[in-house]
Amino acid sequence: MTDRHGETAEAVLRWAEKTPDAPALWWNGNATTYRELADETAAARVRLAEHLPAGATLAVLDAKAPRTVATVLACLVSGRPALLPPPTLPRDHLAAVTAEAGCGYTLAGDTVTALTPQPGDARKHVVPPGTGFILTTSGSTGTPKAVPLPHDGVDAFTRWAADAFGITEGTPVLNYAPLNFDLCLLDVWTTLAHGGQVVLVDPAVAASGPRLLGLLRAHRIEVVQAVPLFYALISAAARAEGGGPLETVRHAVFTGDVMAEQPLADLTALAPGARLYNVYGCTETNDSLIHEVDRDRPLPSPPPLGRPLPGVRVRLRDFEGRLVTGRGELEVSTPFQSTGYPDRRRTAEKFITDPADGSDEGVRWFRTGDLVEADADGVLRLVGRLDHQVKIRGVAVNTAGVEQVILDHPDVVEAGVTTLPDPVEGRRLVAVVRLERDSTATSLDLKRHCSDRLPRGSVPATLVPVREPLPRTSTGKVDRQALAAFCPAASRGPATSVGTRS
């Protein structure tokens, strides 16, 4: 038996009693049964008890693998909050995040290391009781923030997700995201809590469309959730191989970024029997909005954010701080959300407690930083990020909107837009565009595509076609601060971050 530290973790281990020989995890063709997962979890609990005080927060630094899942599960069932930093997080950012979370220990392999506080670092920020996971924001605009997720919020989410996507005993679910992503609350933890099979994608093959498509076929995947890039990769691989459709996929969820028109059209053909969803959420709130694509109507570009999940509230606030009904910054309150950052100053900037909402403690709202608009039916659509607004020759340009237009080109796989210094105009708009491997499109073709669809001031002055993947932040978004390296040397300078799950 386990100590009571959340229903989700306990539910996973109960499957070791119900179906001990059923596969829980698949990794590079090898299965880990529920019995083996429980045994590995028990061994991890013993190791942690030897080195950590009860309730101590642990930063798990191991790469994605079944053993890492067992280590995190051991933390959850023993009441030790598990901090999951991205594997690529720079050392100084890791130090800052562990300090913010009050984390005094790290684990890499079998080695537990006690962290030595640095001068001025009192590790006074402590996550609240009942914390299960501690994730991090991308840090695209500075040092990442630690985001504690409470057990009861995780439990509420896994109950909703299992019901929404039909995840039950034996259901094969693909996990594409790294373990530090909030997407894993569906892919990994919902699936394990309900007796399904998690097919873990090795990061070494995450950019290989043929390998990803092979996993979907070999494991007869029924539920898949991933960023739009994943769907672009498997669609390109399917066209190249000339194979049949993915008949077993029942639910395909895209999230984390804007789904362009061509990849969405490709997905509808590749998974003809699947229900398709655009899901919107932030690390701090988990999933908040959902839109199911209607296959009988013209495909929207981009798809709407949709409507709130059960128990989720939304509202819009204009630039003057007034609640509005048309267009404004999206604020959300969800049953799954974080308790707030450990650093109260950071919490005060993004979380708002509204005492006028009728409850004794008030309702806590999260300011997403996303500019959205609601149509007459209450369906929400993303306009862009508030921090994506730039001025080019005195005209306001939303770079997320420019990226969306570029992504609608049928040969484009990825796109990132930023600004670079210009000796005449002050700043100039620059786009780095990853093309399909066999594309013959040129920068001139891309500029014509933009000119036909954008106001003149929003057309990038420089478009740089590339074949290699664009750099990404620790949470999988295009790293717009790193795009300057792709531009001609004469154009380079300190780029302004104007990047777009938030």
In this structure, the answer to whether residues 348 and 433 fall within a common structural domain is no
In a domain, 95, yes or no: yes
Closest CA to 265 of 256, 279, 276, 255: 276
pLDDT at res. 502: 44
In a domain, 408, yes or no: yes
pLDDT at res. 425: 65
**Residue 141: pLDDT band by 50, 70, 90 thresholds?**
low
Return the CATH number at 443: 3.30.300.30
Q: Is a pLDDT exceeding 90 seen at residue 200?
A: yes
Block residue for tokens 């209450």: 378
Rounded CA-CA distance 68/61 in Å is: 9
pLDDT at res. 190: 98
Q: Is a pLDDT exceeding 60 seen at residue 123?
A: no
Q: Is a pLDDT exceeding 50 seen at residue 19?
A: yes
Q: Is a pLDDT exceeding 50 seen at residue 499?
A: no
In this structure, the answer to whether residues 471 and 393 fall within a common structural domain is yes
Q: Is a pLDDT exceeding 90 seen at residue 48?
A: yes
In this structure, the answer to whether residues 407 and 357 fall within a common structural domain is no
Rounded CA-CA distance 246/126 in Å is: 46
Measured in degrees and rounded to the nearest 5, phi and psi for residue 304 equal: -60, 160
Q: How does pLDDT run across 291-302, given as a tens digit for each residue?
A: 999 998 887 777
In this structure, the answer to whether residues 249 and 188 fall within a common structural domain is yes
* Out of 208-222, 333-347, 396-410, 488-502, least confident range: 488-502
In this structure, the answer to whether residues 458 and 391 fall within a common structural domain is yes
In a domain, 203, yes or no: yes
Average pLDDT over the chain reads 89
In a domain, 497, yes or no: no
Q: How does pLDDT run across 65-114, given as a tens digit for each residue?
A: 999 999 999 999 999 999 999 888 888 889 999 999 999 999 999 999 99
In a domain, 306, yes or no: no
Share of the chain above pLDDT 90, in %: 67
In this structure, the answer to whether residues 181 and 227 fall within a common structural domain is yes
pLDDT at res. 427: 79
| H or E element in which residue 36 lies | helix 34-51
Six-digit token pair at 134? 């501690």
In a domain, 63, yes or no: yes
In this structure, the answer to whether residues 361 and 449 fall within a common structural domain is no
Buried b (16+ CB within 10 A) or exposed e, 149-169: bbbebbbbbbbbbbebbebee
| Mean pLDDT value of segment 234-251 | 94
In this structure, the answer to whether residues 194 and 55 fall within a common structural domain is yes
Return the CATH number at 192: 3.40.50.12780
Domain extent at residue 370: 311-384
Q: How does pLDDT run across 377-420, given as a tens digit for each residue?
A: 888 998 877 767 776 766 668 888 899 899 999 999 999 999 88
Rounded CA-CA distance 496/62 in Å is: 33
Return the CATH number at 347: 2.30.38.10
Q: Is a pLDDT exceeding 70 seen at residue 139?
A: no
Q: Which residue has the higher pLDDT, 393 or 432?
A: 432
Q: How does pLDDT run across 325-343, given as a tens digit for each residue?
A: 989 999 999 999 999 999 8
pLDDT at res. 57: 95
pLDDT at res. 477: 78
In a domain, 297, yes or no: no
In this structure, the answer to whether residues 395 and 373 fall within a common structural domain is no
Q: Is a pLDDT exceeding 50 seen at residue 2?
A: no
pTM value > 0.85: no
Six-digit token pair at 252? 């395909």
Measured in degrees and rounded to the nearest 5, phi and psi for residue 327 equal: -135, 140
* Out of 270-274, 294-298, 426-430, 437-441, least confident range: 426-430
DSSP 185-226: IIIIIIHHHTT-EEEEPPGGGTT-HHHHHHHHHHTT-SEEEE
pLDDT at res. 140: 57
In this structure, the answer to whether residues 62 and 145 fall within a common structural domain is yes
In this structure, the answer to whether residues 221 and 267 fall within a common structural domain is yes
Neighbours of 339 (CB within 10 A): 19
Structural domains counted in the chain:
3
In this structure, the answer to whether residues 379 and 397 fall within a common structural domain is no
